[in-house]
């Protein structure tokens, strides 16, 4: 059985996509787990970073040796097809999930995943995914059925992986709710800012409401404190408040402001080596930090056993 994580906060720009990208990379490369990142954000930032990351690694490492990924198919093609049609799955209020639709142009999920490096795959998104919100509302009248649909389409694929990270937009939307419905665990990303603190708490409160309303077993894996200024008094005060609010859920590993992490947005993830064949210090620090975060989250999972 795969472990599926949704990475969230209802505030944008707090580092959710970066966490999805780095945790996916460390799970696959450092921990040798077959890993899938599902991009459910129409901006497609994670898809872009994964394409750049593919360029940075050799063919022997599963990379592109300087060539980017060519995303012929995206999550849009999997869920609504190359030419969106009315599925007509509802009959008298019931849904026939096994119904085969004539002229169905939906792409098999297996044909929409792309290898980034060995053990790491991406199911990409682009701006066309904006269509999904209106389309799914036209297909199903029941709120739960709207969420079940994505599970039906992606579920068999997700179970082929050890770990799945779901990157979602910062809003209460069909995208974030579908990811919550799919996921086993939620990872909340927290910046040490008043608004981010409030939005992170709202995310957890909404998660409780969601679990009760849709009868899921979604659990909190942890809260990642992100991009702190180590010497900033306000940041330190916010972190102390976060410790009181989130308790043991708040990770001890803190992501400080880091130029190399910021560079990955434009360069893709790198593992640059010195002449002696050792990992350069700035890459080494980034990878070491997220390996520690991965391991701390893994420890938190044992709380639910």
- pLDDT averages per 10-residue partition of the chain, 305 residues: 88 83 97 97 95 96 95 97 89 84 91 98 97 94 93 94 95 92 93 70 88 93 80 73 86 85 92 89 93 96 88
What is the token pair recorded at 304? 């639910």
Phi and psi (nearest 5°) for 98? Answer: -95, 0
Measured in degrees and rounded to the nearest 5, phi and psi for residue 195 equal -65, -40
For residues 182 and 148, give the distance between their C-alpha atoms in angstroms, rounded to a whole number. Answer: 8
Separation between Cα atoms, residue 44 and residue 22, nearest integer Å: 16
Q: What is the pLDDT of residue 256?
A: 83
The pLDDT value given to residue 227: 65
The reported pLDDT for the residue numbered 194 is 66
Would you tell me the crossing angle of helices 281-301 and 259-267 to the nearest 10 degrees?
90
DSSP letters along 167-209, please?
E--SSSSHHHHHHHHH-SEEEEEEESSHHHHHHHHHHHHHHHH
Question: DSSP states of 212-268 as a string?
Answer: HHHT---EEEEEEEEEE-TT-HHHHHHHHHHHHHHGGGB-SS-EE--HHHHHHHHH-
pLDDT at 202: 83
Using DSSP's 3-state secondary structure scheme, residue 63 falls into coil
Per-residue pLDDT reduced to its tens digit, 11-33: 767 788 999 999 999 999 999 99
pLDDT of res. 7:
93
pTM metric for this prediction: 0.93
Q: In what order do the strands lie in the sheet with 219-228?
A: 114-117, 120-123, 35-39, 163-167, 3-8, 185-191, 219-228, 255-256
Strands 219-228 and 255-256: parallel
Which domains are seen in the chain, by residue range? 3-304 (3.40.50.300)
166 phi and psi, to 5 degrees?
-105, 115
89 sits in the region (left: phi over 0; alpha: psi -120 to 50; else beta) called alpha
Tokens 């390996």 sit on residue: 291
- What is the rounded CA–CA span in Å between residue 66 and residue 57? 7
Q: What pLDDT was estimated at residue 231?
A: 66
Question: What tokens were used for 133?
Answer: 């919100």
């Amino acid at each position: 059985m795969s472990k599926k994580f949704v990475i969230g906060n209802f505030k944008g720009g707090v580092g959710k996509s970066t966490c999805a990208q780095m945790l996916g990379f460390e799970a696959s490369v450092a921990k040798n787990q077959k890993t899938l990142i599902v991009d459910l954000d129409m901006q497609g930032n994670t898809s872009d970073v994964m394409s750049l990351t593919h360029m940075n690694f050799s063919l022997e490492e599963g990379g592109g040796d300087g060539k980017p990924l060519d995303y012929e198919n995206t999550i849009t093609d999997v869920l609504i097809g190359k030419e969106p049609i009315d599925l007509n799955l509802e009959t008298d209020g019931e849904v026939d999930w096994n119904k085969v639709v004539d002229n169905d142009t939906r792409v098999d999920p297996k044909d929409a995943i792309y290898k980034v490096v060995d053990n790491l795959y991406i199911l990409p998104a682009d701006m066309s995914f904006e269509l999904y919100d209106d389309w799914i509302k036209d297909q199903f009248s029941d709120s739960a059925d709207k969420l079940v649909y994505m599970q039906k389409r992606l579920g068999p694929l997700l179970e082929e992986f050890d770990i799945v990270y779901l990157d979602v937009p910062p809003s209460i939307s069909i995208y974030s709710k579908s990811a919550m419905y799919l996921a086993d665990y939620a990872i909340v990303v927290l910046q040490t800012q008043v608004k981010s603190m409030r939005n992170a708490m709202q995310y957890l409160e909404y998660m409780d409401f969601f679990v009760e309303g849709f009868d899921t077993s979604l659990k909190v894996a942890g809260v990642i404190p992100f991009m702190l200024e180590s010497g900033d008094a306000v940041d330190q005060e916010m972190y102390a408040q976060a410790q009181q609010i989130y308790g043991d859920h708040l990770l001890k590993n803190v992501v400080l402001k880091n130029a190399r992490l910021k560079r990955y947005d434009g360069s893709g993830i790198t593992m640059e080596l010195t002449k002696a064949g050792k990992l350069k210090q700035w890459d080494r620090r980034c990878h070491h930090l997220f390996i520690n975060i991965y391991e701390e989250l893994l420890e938190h999972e044992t709380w639910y056993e």
